[in-house]
Amino acid sequence: MNAAPTPNTELTSALEDYLETIFELVKERKVARVKDIVKARNVKSASVIPALRRLADLGLIHYTKRESIDLTETGEATARRIYSRHKLLVRLFRDFLGMPAELALQDACAMEHNLSDAGVDHLVRFFEFLQSCPDGHDFIERFKGCALVNAESPQDIATCCAKLALSPNDPNIISLRQLKPGQGGSVIRIQGTGAIRQRILDMGIMPEVHIQLERRSPAGDPLWVRVQNSQISLRKKEADMILLRKDTPADTNAP
Amino acid sequence: MNAAPTPNTELTSALEDYLETIFELVKERKVARVKDIVKARNVKSASVIPALRRLADLGLIHYTKRESIDLTETGEATARRIYSRHKLLVRLFRDFLGMPAELALQDACAMEHNLSDAGVDHLVRFFEFLQSCPDGHDFIERFKGCALVNAESPQDIATCCAKLALSPNDPNIISLRQLKPGQGGSVIRIQGTGAIRQRILDMGIMPEVHIQLERRSPAGDPLWVRVQNSQISLRKKEADMILLRKDTPADTNAP
DNA sequence: GCGCAATGGTAGACGGCTCTACATGAACGC
DNA sequence: GCGTTCATGTAGAGCCGTCTACCATTGCGC
């Protein structure tokens, strides 16, 4: 995936993964063996050995042929740094956003290599805020209890918010289908779940995105809308699910 | 970076990047040229051409030698999907976590390839909640105004929280340095900023992590603590910055 | 002591992505 | 018409990370 002017002396994502695996193995059972790494990372031993050699060259592990593997001091520090990014992302996705543990883990594994120091810092500040501030905790709990998060146990938004600004009768909050051609609005939320929801998200329609209704086909069903500067077509059924705040006359040339 | 049993017919991260670049160029100036891609992605034309050929093979772009490049219908849909992931992450890091725009962009670029559908969905639900629920907005605004987020314009946590549970005199909230050997606690926050803060985070010390004080050196300065099952040493100065909630006698064998 | 199973390691190949160095084409000024 | 210039494309090489197929060591049961 990369390859750039790789100066051969760099910790790549793959190596980070190996290092992290070793870290976990050592933590768990004091010693890492090739077999364990093969199993944990689901690769062949032929892939592991050169990786170990390179980690050894980088001074991150102690590795001599046919002997047990462990981390050097800098190796352990580096691994802990990677591992803590991992934990942080898991915490974000699982504990805060309510994502299933399994999936949160997968995403965290993949993303941890790309999270910058600044990203770490800002996530940490967020968690610090939650730790210190009971408002924060209340907020998260309400968020997690809410139908938006867990479609299976739907609890209405109104129940989750202390004060709900979107009165159901606000005439500016309408579904995309109710727009007139030429009108636009900003997405507030996508009603509904499952495959249709995913399709709508895949098209780039998500909260805070601006949509404009261009026209309806004569038959009425496919609607043509403009999103992110390009035109896409939607079925009525989908347009019903997209809730938005209609532009006020003021913001005619909206984002 | 990958390479797996790559069946040659797959959209890799690098290709996704090229596709997204083309999407943005087309959006901006109606047409993408090799030169623009070279410039945008900061690579050589020799790298771009084979990528274009493979994108064309995948049916994502129209490309014939020496003619202008544009997206097929599926190419545009795919690109929009990737792009919306990108935007979503930017929104998280910049608008919600208050990360500088530049850095948020970089992180988003790197991470967008690894965010799963489920991850997207959960982030979206979070933004939907914020959109719908004034509590949410208040919360974010308080978070962003808070000293934790913006070290430069420190506003005390107490000011940002409607009700602050951590009374400053809570005897269980102490700095790591005040622990007695054998005692432990859960990190609440890291005081201070800059390089020292980053060093502490790099060691894996962040909110919700459990730390136990093992011993102090005779001189008193290096402290030895146990984090994530391994022992690390800290200077007094660092220990001062780590605020934690002391274990109650109940949770003696804490996580 | 010996042989077998399991574990660890080697050789060689392949695809992906990038590069440098060079070649081709097109467009514009004159 | 022709040459210069810039954009585009080609050839070949290198590294990474994976694989398959084979080889070497170890240690354990007997």
Domain annotation covers residue B14:
yes
Q: Domain check: are B49 and B139 in the same one? A: no
Q: Domain check: are B42 and B155 in the same one? A: no
What's the average model confidence in pLDDT over B171-197?
88
Q: Who's near A137: CB < 8 A, 6+ residues apart?
A: A130
Q: Domain check: are A111 and A154 in the same one? A: no
CATH number at residue A92: 1.10.10.10
Suggest the residue from A18, A42, A72, A132 to mutate for an interface test with chain B (most B CBs closer than 10 A). Answer: A132
**Closest to A157 (Cβ–Cβ): which among B132, B166, B201?**
B132
pLDDT of residue B62: 95
The structure's pTM equals 0.88
Q: Cβ(B149)–Cβ(B98) under 8 Å? A: yes
For chain A, what is the mean pLDDT?
Answer: 85
Does B162 have pLDDT greater than 60?
A: no
Q: Domain check: are A219 and A231 in the same one? A: yes
Suggest the residue from B19, B106, B122 to mutate for an interface test with chain A (most A CBs closer than 10 A). Answer: B122
Beta bridge partners of B173: B245
pLDDT of residue B10: 87
| Distance from C-alpha of A148 to C-alpha of A168, rounded to nearest angstrom | 16
CA distances from residue B160 to B15, B157, B206 in whole angstroms, order as listed: 44, 5, 21
Q: Domain check: are B4 and B121 in the same one? A: yes
Beta bridge partners of B190: B242
CATH number at residue A181: 2.30.30.90
Domain annotation covers residue B66:
yes
Q: pLDDT tens-digit profile of A12-54?
A: 999 999 999 999 999 888 889 999 999 999 999 999 999 999 9
Residue whose pair of structure tokens reads 């202008």 in the numeric block: B68
Measuring from the CA of residue A8 to each C1' atom, give the nucleotide at the shortest distance.
D15
Closest residue in A to B148 (Cα) is: A125
Domain ranges, residue A96: 9-131
Q: Domain check: are A27 and A39 in the same one? A: yes
In this predicted model, which residue has the larger pLDDT, A112 or A141? A112
Domain annotation covers residue B113:
yes
Of A147, A164, A181, the position where a domain reaches its end is: A164
Burial-class residue A47 by CB neighbours within 10 Å (0-12, 13-18, 19+): middle
Does B1 have pLDDT greater than 50?
A: no
Domain annotation covers residue A251:
no
Q: Where are the beta strands (DSSP E) in A3-116?
A: 61-62, 70-71
Does A195 have pLDDT greater than 90?
A: no
What's the average model confidence in pLDDT over A217-238?
89
For chain B, what is the mean pLDDT?
Answer: 85
Residue whose pair of structure tokens reads 């543990």 in the numeric block: A101
Q: Domain check: are A13 and A111 in the same one? A: yes
* Separation in Å, CA of A231 to nearest CA in chain B: 10
What's the average model confidence in pLDDT over A64-79?
91
Q: CB-based contact (8 Å) between B116 and chain A?
A: yes
Using CB atoms and an 8 Å cut-off, which of residues 181-200 of chain B contact chain A? Answer: 188-190, 197-198
Beta bridge partners of A216: A223
Q: Domain check: are A139 and A199 in the same one? A: no
Q: Domain check: are A160 and A180 in the same one? A: no
- In this prediction, residue B230 has a pLDDT band, given cuts at 50, 70 and 90, of confident
pLDDT of residue A136: 75
Q: Domain check: are B145 and B192 in the same one? A: no
Does B97 have pLDDT greater than 80?
A: yes
SS3 string of A138-198?
Answer: HHHHHHHHCCCCCCCCCCCHHHHCCCCCCCCCCCCEEEHHHCCCCCEEEEEEECCCHHHHH
pLDDT of residue B3: 45
Burial-class residue A67 by CB neighbours within 10 Å (0-12, 13-18, 19+): exposed
Q: Domain check: are A76 and A47 in the same one? A: yes
Domain annotation covers residue B252:
no
Closest residue in A to B245 (Cα) is: A131
Measuring from the CA of residue B68 to each C1' atom, give the nucleotide at the shortest distance.
D8
Counted domains in chain B: 3
Domain annotation covers residue B205:
yes
- In this prediction, residue B52 has a pLDDT band, given cuts at 50, 70 and 90, of very high
Q: Domain check: are B100 and B139 in the same one? A: no
| Distance from C-alpha of A156 to C-alpha of A148, rounded to nearest angstrom | 8
Domain annotation covers residue B255:
no
Please name the residue whose C-alpha is nearest to the C1' of nucleotide C17.
A3
H or E element that contains B215 = strand B210-216
Domain annotation covers residue A255:
no
Measuring from the CA of residue B51 to each C1' atom, give the nucleotide at the shortest distance.
C17
- In this prediction, residue A253 has a pLDDT band, given cuts at 50, 70 and 90, of low
DSSP assignment of B6-57 equals --S-S--HHHHHHHHHHHHHHHHHS-B-HHHHHHHHT--HHHHHHHHHHHHH
